[in-house]
Amino acid sequence: SGSCAFHTVDGVSAESEGVRFIRLREDAQVGKEILRVQAYPRATAALKGADASGDHKYFNLTEYNATTLVISLARSLERLVDRDVPRNLLKFRILCAGKQDKLEEGSYLSITVYIEDVNDNAPEFLNVPYVVDVDENTSVESIVFEGVQAFDRDKPNTPNSEVHFSMSTVPEQLSADGSPYFALKSPHRPLLILKRELDFDSGIRQFKLPIFAWDRGTPANQANTTITINVRDVDDLAAQVHGGRLSHEDQRVLSHDWRTHTHSPVLCPTDNGLRSGLAECHPRL
């Protein structure tokens, strides 16, 4: 017969109007040979998209000899998989026709290429730097920051893009019993939780803690950043007047705030006198 037909390599069984499935890594090099087929007797051969998507443009066809066609990769596949709506299948046809046939009337072999995602992206932290101000009287177990986020550009909904979080301790920023002041709620929910009471006046005033994000690919990729936590002073110390004597006529005095180095009018009740040399004073309203 003068019509072109597709054959297996041994030339025995025909593959006319059959289907071939190919697995290809997304990082396959442009120019890589992905398939050889036997198509003869032929006068012409070409690639054509299986639909309007133009998938065939990712591949080249070379007529190796009178019986063999070689299909190779013409474009990188990485941008197909690593995007919000990934494409992991490409479909096209190999057409061939004999001398007496038009190409569109000849034989074809359907090719389906499955693109395998490769863990080639590390997570990226979003909206950095992370800086948090926390009042010193914040209750333990409070959520003090919810803004830790990371994104992985590998194929969505796969281990390669699933991000987990952890936070490291810093020895000089631990409490007296060796436990951390802050922790993340869980590897999946990076909410920053206060675990120990804070004290601006006698404790640590600024924390710098490393945060890590890693995916579940093999091998895993990791990224890290730092979260800065500033402890904010709350006016929780009463002003004091030292020494001397106060009478009922002396209740309007100024106190000096040793933290801010400012003077403010205060009231100092003197009903009990100043036997101890100290009077407890309160801001005047």
Q: Please tell me whether residues 136 and 63 are part of one structural domain.
A: no
pLDDT for position 84: 78
Q: How confident is the model at residue 266 (pLDDT cuts 50, 70, 90)?
A: low
Q: What is the mean pLDDT of residues 201-210?
A: 97
Query: In this predicted structure, which of 122-136, 141-155, 216-230, 267-281 has the lowest mean pLDDT?
Result: 267-281
Per 3-state DSSP, the chain is made up of helix, strand and coil in percentages (nearest 5) of 5, 45, 50
Q: What is the pLDDT of residues 15-35, one digit of tens each?
A: 445 789 999 999 999 999 999
| Residue that terminates a domain, selected from 206, 232, 258 | 232
Q: Please tell me whether residues 185 and 279 are part of one structural domain.
A: no
Spatial neighbors of 74 by CB under 8 A, at least 6 apart, are 30, 57, 58, 59, 60
Beta carbons of 3 and 101 less than 8 angstroms apart: yes
Q: What is the pLDDT of residues 147-187, one digit of tens each?
A: 999 999 998 889 999 999 999 999 999 999 999 999 999 99
**For residue 91, what is the domain's CATH number?**
2.60.40.60
Q: Please tell me whether residues 61 and 101 are part of one structural domain.
A: yes
Q: Please tell me whether residues 12 and 104 are part of one structural domain.
A: yes
What residue numbers bound the domain in which 275 lies?
A: 239-283
pLDDT for position 82: 79
Q: Please tell me whether residues 97 and 139 are part of one structural domain.
A: no
Order of strands, sheet of 19-25, starting from the edge strand that comes earlier in the sequence: 19-25, 107-116, 89-97, 44-49
Q: Please tell me whether residues 205 and 244 are part of one structural domain.
A: no
Whether the per-residue pLDDT at 10 is higher than 90: the answer is: no
Whether the per-residue pLDDT at 129 is higher than 70: the answer is: yes
Q: How confident is the model at residue 8 (pLDDT cuts 50, 70, 90)?
A: confident
Burial class (CB in 10 A: 0-12, 13-18, 19+), 152: buried
pLDDT for position 276: 47
Alpha-carbon gap, residue 55 to 77, rounded angstroms:
11
Q: Please tell me whether residues 101 and 199 are part of one structural domain.
A: no
Alpha-carbon gap, residue 62 to 111, rounded angstroms:
16
Q: Please tell me whether residues 149 and 108 are part of one structural domain.
A: no
Question: Residue type for 249, please?
Answer: E
Q: Please tell me whether residues 9 and 70 are part of one structural domain.
A: yes
| Average pLDDT value over all residues in the chain | 85
Q: What is the pLDDT of residues 65-74, one digit of tens each?
A: 999 999 999 9
- Taking residue 48's Cβ as centre, other Cβ atoms within 10 Å add up to 14
CA max distance for the chain: 125
The count of domains in the chain is 3
Scanning the structure block, which residue is given the tokens 């054509």? 48
| Residue that terminates a domain, selected from 84, 116, 148 | 116
pLDDT for position 122: 96
Q: Smallest Cα–Cα separation from 153: which of 225, 73, 213? A: 213
pLDDT for position 100: 86
| Residue that terminates a domain, selected from 116, 151, 167 | 116
Query: In this predicted structure, which of 4-8, 161-165, 184-188, 208-212 has the lowest mean pLDDT?
Result: 4-8
